[in-house]
Structure 1
Amino acid sequence: MHHVYEIMSRDLLEVAPTDTLRHAAELMRRYDVAALPVCQNQRLVGMVTRHDLTARTRSASKAQDARVHEVACASVNWCFDDDDLDSVQRRMARSSLSQMPVVDRDRKLVGALSLDALPVRTDHAAHDDVAHTLEGVSQPQLH
């Protein structure tokens, strides 16, 4: 059995609930990411996506000065660092996720699991899961 901590990235990029949307957008541009975990006292409390920022900036004149907590989604797909890798991979496939925040048992953000980091497996079931995940992630999502 392999665990998430064996292959997760420990490079953490996050925003605080009180950060401005301007700051979140700049981080997304600079690091070419579509979503950022929102953390308070190192604990994962939400996610903010490029879509969240775009929707907000279209609807308000001072949107860039709004705070992350005003648009962040509290419903987050995450996993524990000691979760079984195959199980997490199946969850990612079902939810069409290309990346998932990783927390420790104290719910503190410790890393991220990326679809790119998942090992290529030779068994057919794992191959089908990866193929399904790639297919779901590559198709546009309607919001």
Structure 2
Amino acid sequence: MTRDVRTITPQDTVQHAAQMMDELNVGAIPVCDGQKLVGMITDRDIAVRSTAAGQAPGSTHVSDVMSTEVRTCTTGQTVDEVLNKMGDVQIRRVPVLDEQSHMMVGIVSLGDMATKHSAGVDHALDEISTPSEPDRSPTRH
């Protein structure tokens, strides 16, 4: 897992989130209110929920577009448990919480798993990469 993860607040702007993603070369940033994890903002959230809706990135808050139902894991879970969770909900990154304090101590990605623990990664990647159905009808222009 990656420790000392940079976070963003719900009050920050989408523009600031995009700038952080560019600076850190990442596609997702945990959103914290103080020490508490309250969401995740991804490059896809910015593109689909903000830019596609015509929102101004300099005045739209992270809280307006972030994902609030964040799947997490704990420091005590096994790699297989985390891989299964990633596959079940088709995600590539999971914040890691301390079992006692429930505070975020890091983030683990499918890439982390692939480099350190190759067993089980193929199955998780298959599940994560399975195309999902569109959640709405396509917009015609």
TM-score, with normalisation over the residues of structure 2? 0.79
Shift of 1:138: 4.5
Equivalence for 1:93: 87
Asked whether the equivalents of residues 88 and 128 of structure 2 are also in contact (C-alpha less than 8 Å), the reply is: no
Equivalence for 2:37: 44
Partner SS for 1:28: helix
Whichever residue aligns with residue 65 of structure 2, its letter is V
Asked whether the equivalents of residues 39 and 109 of structure 1 are also in contact (C-alpha less than 8 Å), the reply is: no
| Paired residues, number | 130
Does 2:123 match 1:132? yes
Task: Provide the alpha-carbon RMSD of the alignment.
Answer: 2.0
Does 2:60 match 1:66? yes
Asked whether the equivalents of residues 44 and 107 of structure 1 are also in contact (C-alpha less than 8 Å), the reply is: no
Shift of 1:81: 1.6
Q: State how far apart, in whole Å, the 1-side matches of 2:117 and 2:78 are.
A: 16
Partner SS for 1:90: helix
Asked whether the equivalents of residues 37 and 47 of structure 1 are also in contact (C-alpha less than 8 Å), the reply is: yes
Moved more, 67-76 or 82-91: 82-91
Q: State how far apart, in whole Å, the 2-side matches of 1:42 and 1:116 are.
A: 26
Q: State how far apart, in whole Å, the 2-side matches of 1:28 and 1:136 are.
A: 26
Aligned partner of 1:24 among 14, 17, 28 = 17
Q: State how far apart, in whole Å, the 2-side matches of 1:94 and 1:40 are.
A: 27
Equivalence for 1:75: 69
Does 2:117 match 1:120? yes
Unaligned 5+ runs, structure 2: 136-141
Q: State how far apart, in whole Å, the 1-side matches of 2:58 and 2:46 are.
A: 8
Does 2:75 match 1:84? no
Structure number having the greater helix percentage: 1
The alignment-based identity, stated in percent, is: 32
Whichever residue aligns with residue 117 of structure 1, its letter is D
Equivalence for 1:57: 51
Structure showing greater relative contact order (alpha-carbon pairs closer than 8 Å, 6 or more residues apart): 1
TM-score, with normalisation over the residues of structure 1? 0.78
